[in-house]
A and B are shown apart, each in its own frame.
Chain A
Amino acid sequence: MLHGSSLVTRDLDVCTVLSADTVARLRDALRDLRPTHRLTPQRLSFLATPEPGVGMNNLYLETDLGPVDFLGSINGIGDFERVRAAAMEIELFGRRCRVISLQDLIQAKEALGRDKDILAAKELRAIAEKQQ
């Protein structure tokens, strides 16, 4: 969307290193949004699971504002350091934030390979061509 795609996405994907410290900080940041583990049948609360001091590879949460995924790596691209190395920094609503690069996003969509991802990758390629 930030790269100019007309396609709608319904979740937020964040690439990060989910160390125990990061998990604790995320818990504090998301506390008011009632985060639960989206893929557990019992919808376990993220505020209670995992126990403090435990890191994770991936987190798939549902919150009052919608789904948000925290991923240790992106399929087809690599880990957080690799994604960050090519990320672009933009200002969004007065804050600086890093966004996956357009080329990496195309690669990630193609790696996923579902029909909707292939369609998105085609549009993103057209955007990349427009920007050249």
Chain B
Amino acid sequence: MSLIELSLSYSYDKRAEQHQAALELERIGRELRGEAEPTD
């Protein structure tokens, strides 16, 4: 199943939660690398 198909199989709530989780992982990665937060 492609990423798109997987995402479309989720409810809107689940899509928002997945997005939040991705942002959190990204934030932790930046912290570990000592990088600044991107602006967009």
User: Residues of A at under 8 Å CB distance from B?
Assistant: 1-2, 4-6, 8-11, 67, 90-93, 123, 126-127, 130-131
29 CB contacts below 8 A, A to B, read A1-B15, A1-B16, A2-B15, A4-B4, A4-B8, A5-B7, A6-B3, A6-B4, A6-B7, A8-B19, A8-B22, A8-B26, A9-B40, A10-B23, A11-B40, A67-B39, A67-B40, A90-B12, A91-B12, A92-B12, A92-B13, A93-B13, A93-B16, A123-B4, A126-B4, A127-B8, A130-B4, A130-B8, A131-B8
Complex: A90 Cα to B12 Cα, angstroms: 8
Total interface residues in chain B, CB < 8 Å: 17
